Amino acid sequence: MLDHGTPRTEDIATLIASRRPGHSLPAALYTSAAVWHADCDTIFGRHWIAVGVTCDVPEAGDVMAIDIGPVSIVILRDDDDKLRAFHNVCAHRGARLVPPGRSVVGKLVCPYHQWTYDLDGALARAPHMGIDFDRSLHHLKPVALRDIGGLLYACLSDDPPADIEELAAVVEPRLAAYDLRNAKVAFEQDLIEEGNWKLTMENNRECYHCASNHPQLSLSFHAADFGYDPEGLTETEKAETNALLDAYASYEQYWRDEDMPFEAVEHTVGWPTNFRTQRLIIAGLGESQTPDTRAAVQIPLGQARKPWMGDVHLWGINSWNHVMSDHAVVFTAFPLGPDRTLVRTKWLVHAEAEEGEDYDLETLTAVWKTTNAEDAHLVGLAHRGICSPGYRPGPYSRYTERALDEFASWYVSRMQANGY
Ligand code: 3BY
Ligand code: FES
Ligand code: FE
């Protein structure tokens, strides 16, 4: 019997190999500390991870430090307006250089012995190291960083997966109209979910739970056409699914006529960079994910001036995004421990939109603040149940949880591809 608490590498490989297709993962893959470390090394350490938005650091000297599991990185905008990322580790004796969150600096100064770095990572000053000390050998260690339509992805590996280009090629044109690079963060929320990061991601990849758990979100979130095949459902379910497919068909005709890319594009098993994007319908009056389904912000994002643009939805390994004509909501999830996950949510609006004049912050943030709290509760419930010996991996619905089965299969294949 495998110990849920501390499996060794070979036990993790056995656990991973024991996952039954179509079913949730064996308990220890969600609960064990050793698996959590393996996830941090493998999934978060060798893949492109969503880390924020370019407008987190809008001006030269803006710095943001974030933790990805046990690793801390610094994202900044240098004096030439170039975005860069480094390990948040001083080249002297390893101290954390920058405190978590955002700051504004001229140079990066280590609090320990004042080694001082230019914003391109070069060591500019190292007092008392002698006149023959070669500062050029002590650059900050860079981290690969990509800006895709204003969304930032980092990869901690020295050999980042090349298929980030697929994500860029699909997503860049879809986000062009919204000009997120020149938006601003109107509000940011950090929420800790009491569950494993994979439960956070699974919960987000289905809306099976929406009708009964998200009354507020359900007013604007139109169940998506995730490639449903209604055959095999009850007559009532079939009728509901067909109505959904009809609604999508009429929107898609309009989006096609208006040259708005909408097709679902999925990269799951077989690709290191897991993503899915699709333009979704917004329910109700169809404008935005707000309590009354109308736009919350009077100034649209970028050139997003057409009606019925829907919601450009993008899922990633640790992220999900809803980009609408008046605002975007960008979610990133970071593993804090086997049973704790940080969900960071940012609401983006046009840079010139003024709070109180062009938007009301409560109206802008109401739906996803409520939904996040509901999801945090559900992830906590799932994690607690999985910790019990009564848990056995359960079957995913082929109709509403196909994306979870694919996510679990992707996870298994990535762990195996990396030595487990
Ligand atoms: O926010 C999301 O991406 C997902 C889609 C389905 C459930 N949840 C709302
Ligand atoms: Fe940074 Fe010494 S550890 S200056
Ligand atoms: Fe939810």
**196 and 339 Cβ atoms separated by less than 8 Å:** yes
Q: For residue 140, which ligand has an atom nearest its CA? A: 2
Among 247, 275, 251, residue whose Cα is nearest residue 262:
251
- Taking the complete model, does pTM exceed 0.90, yes or no? yes
Question: 196-210, pLDDT tens digit by residue?
Answer: 999 999 999 999 999
What ipTM does this complex have?
0.92
Per-residue pLDDT reduced to its tens digit, 398-408: 889 999 999 99
Which residue has the least CA distance to atom 2 on ligand 2?
113
Domains and CATH numbers, the chain: 49-147 (2.102.10.10), 163-418 (3.90.380.10)
> Residue 145 has which token pair?
């960083």
| Cα(40) to centroid(ligand 3), Å | 24
Higher pLDDT, 327 or 233: 327
C-alpha–C-alpha distance, residues 9 and 77, integer Å = 39
* Ligand 1 atom showing the smallest separation from residue 313 Cα: 3
Distance CA 320, CA 322 (A): 7
Atom of ligand 1 nearest to the CA of 217: 9
Nearest bound ligand to CA 109? 2
pLDDT tens digit string along 5-51? 567 777 999 999 999 999 999 999 999 999 999 999 999 999 999 99
User: How high does pLDDT run on average in the chain?
Assistant: 96
Confidence of residue 4 (pLDDT cuts 50, 70, 90): low
Mean pLDDT of 317-345: 98
pLDDT at 6: 62
pLDDT at 5: 57
Q: Measuring CA to CA, which residue among 217, 205, 175 is closest to residue 312?
A: 175
CA-nearest residue for atom 4, ligand 2, is 113
Kindly give the distance from the C-alpha atom of residue 205 to the centroid of ligand 1, in angstroms, as a whole number: 6
Q: What is the pLDDT of residues 367-390, one digit of tens each?
A: 999 999 999 999 999 999 999 999
Instruction: Determine the pLDDT at residue 284.
Output: 94
